[in-house]
């Protein structure tokens, strides 16, 4: 499998809703296991079908971490981070999971969004193409699968083609659901797709004429990926709820590193991938790359660097927000102070 590593990263919505109940039964209980009042929150996730990268919510539910914090969580699975951020700004979501680009662009256009944590702060995806395509420049004239303009997979695709000296006019974008990329690649309907790790493993096992052209984690390990985002007014009114949510998520991340077999079982059920595929993806995402933060996980330097990368590739739409205004570290710092910081592994952050 040949992987092209790029210098500095050559670099109306369908909604599926599911309630992750505080008591695991889909009910809306009056109180938590500790007897305190239960708080209902709605979270938006950026995939029409759940991915490993966004399965921390499923782990937090399965292990009772939301229940322990007195939270009753309803999940909306959206098509990408773009409608997630729109839902946050519009008030239909309390907390959103989105790649950083739609968040930065919303802030650049004046929306009061604020990053409070991360579901996976390192990139978890690769670009898969036919083996006949061995360089990014050979994407000229090809049909490239994306979600929508400005969404994460389109941004990653745009960085690759612009890094190769091409423009979007040199390729054909094929919008579609991220869950359809595998079938479209296998059928030859698209010649590239930006896939999550479990998708990569599945599609390569099905067709030896496909390969990884760009491993984005290796191409730019400093690029910041997934955020948990809220609005500033919501955070001002719900600081305690934000801390409870991040406590559950941080405990879920730590559980994932400590309990491979249980994590694989939960993620396989959540994503509908086989335990064999998820086990292999676990070895990459957690053991090798450490993509899930166990402490604060929202490095100012990495976020600022990612905003600079967005400016370089003209992904930024508006005036770049200052990292200090975009990020609120208060809630996650309080969580880590309460739980205690994890140390000893350079991958942990």
- Tally Cβ neighbours within 10 Å of residue 320: 16
| Domain extent at residue 24 | 16-122+223-339
Please indicate, yes or no, whether residues 161 and 178 belong to a single structural domain of this protein. Answer: yes
Residues, the chain: 349
pLDDT of residue 7: 36
Please indicate, yes or no, whether residues 133 and 228 belong to a single structural domain of this protein. Answer: no
Q: How far is Cα 248 from Cα 259, in angstroms, rounded to an integer?
A: 16
Strands 226-231 and 95-99: antiparallel
Q: Residues of the chain whose pLDDT is less than 70?
A: 1-36
Please indicate, yes or no, whether residues 92 and 142 belong to a single structural domain of this protein. Answer: no
Please indicate, yes or no, whether residues 81 and 135 belong to a single structural domain of this protein. Answer: no
Please indicate, yes or no, whether residues 113 and 233 belong to a single structural domain of this protein. Answer: yes
Domain edge (last residue) among 181, 199, 219: 219
The total domain count for the chain is 2
Q: Is 21 helix (H, G, I), strand (E, B) or coil?
A: coil
Question: Tokens for 35?
Answer: 């007897």
Compute the chain's Rg from CA coordinates: 19
State the burial class of residue 169 (Cβ atoms within 10 Å of its Cβ: 0-12, 13-18, 19+): exposed
Quick one: what percent of the chain has pLDDT higher than 70?
A: 90
User: Is residue 6 in a domain?
Assistant: no
Q: Which residues, listed in sequence order, are joined to residue 121 by a DSSP beta bridge?
A: none
Q: How far is Cα 153 from Cα 146, in angstroms, rounded to an integer?
A: 6
User: Is residue 278 in a domain?
Assistant: yes
Please indicate, yes or no, whether residues 170 and 68 belong to a single structural domain of this protein. Answer: no
Using alpha carbons only, what angle is made at residue 193 by residues 189 and 196, rounded to the nearest 5 degrees? 135
Task: Match 């053991």 to its residue by tokens.
Answer: 287
State the burial class of residue 305 (Cβ atoms within 10 Å of its Cβ: 0-12, 13-18, 19+): middle
Domain edge (last residue) among 164, 198, 219: 219
Structure confidence by residue, pLDDT tens digits, 142-153: 999 998 888 899
DSSP 39-70: EEEEEEES-SS--GGGTHHHHHHHTTHHHHTT
pLDDT of residue 148: 87
Determine phi and psi for 117, rounding to 5 degrees. Answer: -175, -170
> Residue ranges of the alpha helices (H) in the chain?
56-62, 65-68, 81-90, 100-108, 152-163, 181-187, 197-206, 216-219, 232-237, 239-258, 260-271, 275-282, 300-312, 323-326, 330-339
Helix (H) and strand (E) counts in the chain = 15, 11
Domain edge (last residue) among 219, 236, 266: 219
User: Is residue 2 in a domain?
Assistant: no
Using alpha carbons only, what angle is made at residue 34 by residues 32 and 38, rounded to the nearest 5 degrees? 25
State the burial class of residue 225 (Cβ atoms within 10 Å of its Cβ: 0-12, 13-18, 19+): buried
CB 215 within 8 A of CB 5: yes
User: Is residue 4 in a domain?
Assistant: no
Nearest to residue 196, comparing CAs of 101, 271, 301? 271
For the chain, what percentages of helix, strand and coil (3-state, to nearest 5) are there? 45, 20, 40
């Amino acid at each position: 499998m040949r992987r092209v590593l790029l210098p500095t990263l050559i670099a109306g919505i369908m909604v599926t809703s599911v309630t992750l109940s505080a008591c695991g039964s889909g009910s809306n209980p009056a109180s938590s296991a500790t007897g305190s009042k239960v708080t209902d929150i709605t979270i938006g996730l950026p995939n029409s079908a759940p991915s490993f990268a966004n399965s921390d919510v499923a782990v937090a539910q399965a292990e009772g971490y939301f229940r322990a914090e007195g939270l009753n969580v309803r999940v909306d699975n959206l098509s990408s981070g773009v409608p997630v951020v729109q839902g946050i700004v519009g008030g239909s979501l309390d907390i959103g999971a989105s790649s950083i680009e739609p968040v930065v662009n919303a802030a650049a256009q004046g929306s009061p969004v604020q990053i409070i944590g991360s579901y996976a702060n390192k990139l978890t995806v690769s670009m898969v193409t036919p083996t006949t395509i061995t360089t990014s420049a050979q994407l000229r004239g090809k049909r490239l699968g994306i979600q929508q303009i400005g969404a994460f997979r389109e941004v990653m695709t745009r960085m690759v083609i612009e890094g190769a000296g091409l423009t979007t006019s040199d390729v054909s974008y094929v919008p579609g659901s991220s869950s359809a990329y595998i079938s479209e690649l296998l059928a030859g309907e698209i010649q590239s797709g930006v896939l999550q790790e479990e998708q990569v493993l599945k599609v390569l096992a099905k067709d030896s004429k496909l390969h990884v052209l760009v491993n984005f984690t290796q191409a730019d390990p400093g690029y910041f990926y997934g955020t948990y985002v809220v609005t500033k007014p919501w955070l001002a009114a719900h600081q305690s709820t934000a801390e409870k949510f991040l406590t559950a998520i941080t405990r879920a991340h730590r559980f994932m590193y400590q309990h491979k077999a249980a994590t694989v079982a939960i993620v396989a059920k959540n994503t509908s991938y086989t335990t064999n595929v998820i086990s292999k993806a676990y070895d990459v995402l957690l053991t090798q790359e450490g993509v899930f933060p166990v402490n604060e996980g929202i490095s100012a330097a990495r976020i600022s660097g990612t905003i600079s990368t967005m400016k370089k590739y003209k992904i930024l739409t508006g005036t770049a927000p200052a990292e200090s205004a975009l990020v609120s570290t208060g809630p996650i710092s309080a969580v880590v102070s309460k739980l205690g910081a994890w140390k000893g592994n350079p991958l942990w952050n």
